[in-house]
């Protein structure tokens, strides 16, 4: 039976929950143009100071995407400082010189256009952005790796294997613990804050708030609306607060995929721009296992996918990759997948959607004469690969059940996400009834987490609270009380 838990978001008000940014340097943008730009990409920042702008861009994750608008008089020196950053994907220069276009575009393939008329700016950015979104090439796939062989890189392999296993367990918990009816309301409230003064996004949000139905989850996901953008980034950066709010949507998509599962074997294709470091990691795991830790949307059209890759001029920092994905629905215990064309927002795209946490074997890799890497992936059933025994071993080791409220906290703790684990346990203590048996487990878990963080005073407080609660609920000779006393002794020895 699933268990229900509700979470209160602790996401920062000014945090960009999407992948894309528009950053302007030294260019005062009229309000109407600003609104038009935000209708394309919500997160827009304007800087007057070059150094502040540079520092901010440098702080953005290399897996995020920055579109830069810069005045020509500031451009040459500034662009030379930032053009090498992977997060910079497009640069637009505002200049009165109509003849400067070719000169600038030769300087870097990231320079897309020299804009003379301001009203052309939004039009150019929208065209480029829509093209990128249609083919999904820029949407980073969060991948986890598992190596079943012994290697000389023992530490690396063990660390990656553990990360793989904990991520699988985290996904199982997200699916297994049922969200409350209020989660959707909290998500809507958060999005209203994120898209404040963005009328286009707020209109879509209002439509979602009024009209969303579980049987329309695939339609909403393939729409590439705020749901798609926010959830995909949340999976990539493992934003636990946001993922907890998305549980209702994740479960609805899963149910719709299961209800409409494919009847025969399929082959699908996913084009992707991948940084060189990630590609190098893929080459090390040839023949091994890869988990896609977000929903994976792939096309049934090989030629269209290949043509999209060929049409993009990639920088020296990324490689073009074409995944060929084979999946047989006759295998037992597969993560759900289905052809979603008939449920899609875009009915003209033949697409297959794979459930989060889908595990693939990397069969082969080779590079063609056009510089595209072809990678063959075969979908694995949950019980037909050796790592399943490792996952079950970890679950048994930590006494983890997919539907147990505390399991999510235990997994976060063992993933070394101590702040997230502490927030989750604190939330549970505020939500559970005072006589609930899990309150004691929460108190003890909080003692462990704060001890690991080196906050020994807080750790002692939680262990003592665990003892107090146990004495109220059970006999004095309960073994859990002895465990908490031992933990207190350990903390005192380390203070």
pLDDT at 53 over 70: yes
Burial 62-74 (b: 16+ CB within 10 A, else e): ebbbbbbbbebeb
Is 317 within 8 Å of 89 (Cβ atoms)? Answer: no
Q: How far apart are CA 382 and CA 313, in angstroms?
A: 38
User: For residue 391, what pLDDT band results from cuts at 50, 70 and 90?
Assistant: confident
DSSP state string for 8-61: -----TT---SSEEEEEES-PPPHHHHHHHHHH-S-EEEES-HHHHHHHHHHS-
pLDDT at 142 over 90: yes
Model pLDDT, residue 482: 64
Domains (range + CATH), the chain: 1-12+139-390 (3.90.176.10), 20-135 (3.40.50.2300), 398-494 (1.25.40.10)
Q: How far apart are CA 241 and CA 470, in angstroms?
A: 29
For CA atoms 380, 382, 385, 390, the dihedral sign is positive
Model pLDDT, residue 45: 92
C-alpha distances in angstroms, 20 versus 49, 64, 75, 387? 21, 6, 21, 35
Pull the structure tokens for residue 439: 């309150």
Is 82 within 8 Å of 68 (Cβ atoms)? Answer: yes
Is 440 within 8 Å of 480 (Cβ atoms)? Answer: yes
Q: How far apart are CA 1 and CA 176, in angstroms?
A: 9
Nearest CA among 155, 152, 178, 229 for reference residue 3 = 178
pLDDT at 494 over 80: no
pLDDT at 314 over 90: no
- For 155-191, write each residue's pLDDT tens digit: 445 678 888 888 888 898 888 877 777 889 999 999 9
With 0-12 / 13-18 / 19 or more C-beta atoms within 10 angstroms meaning exposed / middle / buried, residue 442 is: buried
Query: In the predicted model, what is the mean pLDDT of residues 381-402?
Result: 70
* Chain centroid offset of residue 129 CA: 20
Model pLDDT, residue 152: 45
Cross-strand pairs, 146: 289
C-alpha distances in angstroms, 382 versus 68, 96, 179, 283? 44, 60, 24, 23
Query: In the predicted model, what is the mean pLDDT of residues 65-72?
Result: 88
- For 239-272, write each residue's pLDDT tens digit: 988 998 999 999 999 999 999 988 899 999 999 9
Is 147 within 8 Å of 157 (Cβ atoms)? Answer: yes
Query: In the predicted model, what is the mean pLDDT of residues 301-316?
Result: 87
Instruction: Share the mean pLDDT of the chain.
Output: 85
Angle at 136 between CA 78 and CA 187, to 5 degrees: 90
User: For the whole model, what pTM was predicted?
Assistant: 0.88
For 357, left (φ over 0), alpha (ψ -120 to 50), or beta?
A: left
Pairing verdict, β 20-25 and 44-47: parallel
Specify the DSSP element, H or E, that contains 303: helix 302-311
Within a 10 A sphere around the Cβ of 155, how many other Cβ atoms?
Answer: 7
Name the residue with tokens 């935000």: 38
SS3 of 83-141: the string is CCCCCEEEEEEECCCCCHHHHHHHHCCCEEEEECCCHHHHHHHHHHHHHHHHHCCCCCC
* Among the ranges given (329-333, 427-431, 488-492), the one the predictor scored with the smallest mean pLDDT: 488-492
């Amino acid at each position: 039976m699933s268990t229900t838990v509700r979470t209160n978001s602790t996401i920062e008000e000014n945090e960009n929950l999407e992948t894309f940014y528009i950053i302007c340097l030294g260019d005062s943008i009229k309000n109407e143009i600003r609104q038009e730009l935000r209708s394309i990409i919500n997160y827009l920042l304007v800087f007057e100071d070059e150094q502040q702008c540079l520092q901010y861009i440098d702080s953005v994750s290399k897996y995020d995407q920055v579109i830069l608008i810069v005045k020509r008089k500031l451009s040459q020196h500034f662009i030379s400082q930032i053009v090498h950053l992977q997060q910079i994907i497009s640069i637009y220069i505002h200049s009165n010189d109509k003849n400067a276009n070719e000169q600038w575009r030769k300087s870097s393939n990231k320079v897309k256009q020299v804009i003379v008329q301001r009203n052309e700016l939004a039009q150019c950015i929208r065209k480029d952005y829509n093209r990128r979104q249609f083919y999904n090439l820029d949407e980073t796939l969060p991948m986890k790796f598992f190596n079943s062989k012994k290697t000389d890189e023992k530490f690396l392999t063990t660390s990656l294997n553990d990360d793989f296993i904990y991520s699988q367990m985290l996904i199982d918990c997200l699916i297994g613990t049922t969200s409350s009816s209020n989660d959707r309301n909290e998500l809507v409230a958060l999005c209203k804050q994120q898209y404040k003064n963005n009328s286009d996004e707020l209109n879509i949000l209002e439509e979602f708030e009024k009209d969303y139905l579980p049987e329309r989850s695939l339609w909403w996901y393939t729409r590439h609306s705020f749901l798609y953008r926010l959830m995909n980034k949340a999976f990539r950066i493992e934003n636990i607060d946001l993922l907890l709010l998305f549980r209702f949507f994740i479960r609805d998509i899963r149910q719709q995929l299961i209800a409409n599962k494919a009847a025969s074997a399929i082959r699908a294709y996913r084009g992707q721009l991948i940084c060189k470091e990630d590609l190098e990691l893929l080459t090390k795991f040839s023949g091994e296992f890869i988990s896609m830790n977000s929903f994976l949307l792939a096309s049934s059209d090989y030629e269209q996918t290949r043509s999209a890759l060929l049409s993009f001029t990639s920088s020296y920092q990324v490689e073009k990759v074409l995944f060929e994905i084979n999946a047989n629905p006759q295998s037992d215990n597969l993560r759900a997948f289905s052809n979603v064309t008939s449920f899609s927002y875009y009915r003209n795209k033949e697409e297959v959607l794979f459930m989060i946490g889908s595990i693939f074997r990397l069969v082969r890799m080779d590079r063609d004469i056009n510089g595209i890497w072809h990678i063959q992936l075969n979908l694995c059933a949950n019980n037909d690969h050796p790592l399943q025994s490792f996952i079950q071993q970890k679950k048994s080791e930590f006494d983890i059940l997919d539907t147990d409220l505390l399991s999510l906290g235990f997994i976060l703790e063992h993933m070394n996400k101590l702040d997230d684990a502490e927030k989750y346990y604190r939330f549970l203590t505020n939500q559970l009834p005072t006589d609930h048996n899990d309150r004691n487990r929460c108190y003890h878990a909080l003692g462990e987490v704060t001890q690991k963080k080196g906050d020994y005073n807080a750790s002692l407080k939680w262990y003592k609270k665990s003892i107090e609660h146990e004495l109220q609920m059970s006999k004095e000779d309960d073994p859990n009380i002895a465990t908490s006393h031992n933990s207190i002794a350990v903390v005192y020895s380390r203070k």
